[in-house]
Chain A
């Protein structure tokens, strides 16, 4: 089975799909991390928010596409409110304060999900348009998962164009590199940070709603994705788009192929990689900051 190229190809697509999900989550976290040294453990909770809200919208309207469009916006609004009420106040505090505050948010979200949506796992069905299997290279593969891969790549492309080719993108890059200097040159780093934070929330919500048809929606789904996302951010390097995509691909492939090839070690592999990165290259593979 392991030498069957078709089987390995399907696993490769699975790995790619998981990587894209990780990318959607890690990119926002990484850039806010790099921009303001802000650590947000509640990022996973926003992902779960996207999935739950997406579920409710899909149930209410009967259309996955309505959820696809509206849930990320709702998560973005939740993120903006959180920012205004809580996060702004600890933005310049040390990592311990931020870790604890956002850890507290995880607890609050966890029980909020339980109260609103209950403890049971909820299912969301893929949109009818994509709920078929297609044949590629003699293998059948769910079209919806291919859609996810394309979505991740499209988001990467848009973000890349935005960061590399627009004025605001240049401001973001400058602020990540040296926030003080950027603000001396007239960049409103504070406002920029808010915008980046909201974009990160939007993408986390998007990740949640598109993941809903693949994984079941339940309280605690946020903790499951949080750790791999943090690993991607640290391995990739803070604040860089390239780091986020490379880190996501590394972890996504490592976990997928790890489970197929060496199941006994699969769970530990990404932690080993993280530990090795922190020791050998603490700044990550592609840190945005030169120093």
Chain B
């Protein structure tokens, strides 16, 4: 169950302010890193919505990132749609693809869901990779950014762009926070906990799963439209399954089923990657070690551990349903047995 607790709101506000300050104060390279963090944060928090709260652990999330990016490019560069409208329209195929994936996989659970999403992601990846119309393995360059000069905002200014991306991330966070406290969000968590009971209550499991998948896909696609504008370039590389794996790592390292944790995880992994790259190319090794240590330590992740620590210090019992929350990662297996 999701609660926008004081700690979560405080961390979210802190991260947001830090992001805005960094957008104006950091050097050129720092702004690049900031945008990268924000993009991964969007992917990670939408994946947490799907995997942490909805129990649908996807290894194909990067496909939506790519669909959003490519849809924006096709609409704005080939169909002549104005960039701002293209950004909105590009979300339609993401929503549709997410919905379709959710419908098709509504009865698939646990490791089979992971495999199904992996297959979906790779299918989109390979299709794009081999499609000449989409630039094949080279991708498409020269992507325009949205034009907000009418209201006095210059998106080509790196500070403004970084700031806009941080604001967008904050808004998406608020939207997901709102969704999770709505009856839809409660139902989604209920499905994760006990699907049969929800079905017995007369709910359309298939509809809820499709909707959750579509919403998560739309948010990832939104990140894709920003990514395309950021580098002014799209390539199939952005939908490789290892990208999906990295996003999943961020979710876990930050804290599954916390919504804010994945943003912490995204910042941690991206910063670590850049810090380690300063003195060695072998950042994969360190991320791998961190991941394994985090999992063996109980899999709560950075923010999750902080939350547990604070709960212990204030001597209050963690929120009532924590008993059933204790092992969210194990629930999917129940369907497997």
Contacts and interface: CB of A to CB of B under 8 A. Distances in A.
Nearest to B330: A94
A94 B332 contact: yes
Contacts of B112: 234, 278, 282
A86 B331 CA distance: 21
Nearest to A273: B119
A99 B331 CA distance: 15
A243 to B, nearest CB: 14
Interface string A84-110: 001001100111110111011111101
Contacts, number: 127
Nearest to B336: A37
A279 interface: yes
Interface string B303-319: 00000000000000000
| Main DSSP-derived SS at the A contact region | helix
A93 B288 contact: no
A96 B51 contact: yes
A112 B285 contact: yes
A275 B119 contact: yes
Contact of B288 (A90, A104, A115): A104
Contacts of B123: 268, 271-272, 275
Interface string B38-66: 00000000000001000001010000000
A111 interface: yes
A89 B327 CA distance: 15
Nearest to B332: A94
B115 interface: yes
A161 interface: no
Contact of B114 (A99, A108, A268, A274): A99
B299 A105 contact: no
Contact of B332 (A96, A103, A264, A275): A96
Contacts of A234: 112, 115
A37 B110 CA distance: 10
B10 interface: no
Contacts of B289: 104, 108
A268 B131 CA distance: 11
B245 A103 contact: yes
Identify the 7 closest CB pairs spanning chains A and B, nearest first.
A107-B288, A267-B126, A111-B285, A104-B291, A108-B288, A271-B123, A95-B111
27 contacts: A37-B333, A39-B114, A89-B296, A90-B296, A95-B333, A96-B57, A97-B329, A99-B114, A99-B248, A100-B249, A101-B292, A101-B295, A104-B292, A107-B285, A107-B291, A108-B285, A108-B292, A234-B112, A234-B115, A267-B127, A268-B126, A268-B130, A275-B104, A275-B123, A278-B112, A279-B104, A279-B108
Given A95-B57, A101-B292, 13 more contacts: A90-B295, A94-B110, A94-B330, A96-B332, A99-B57, A99-B59, A104-B289, A107-B285, A114-B282, A268-B126, A275-B119, A278-B119, A282-B112
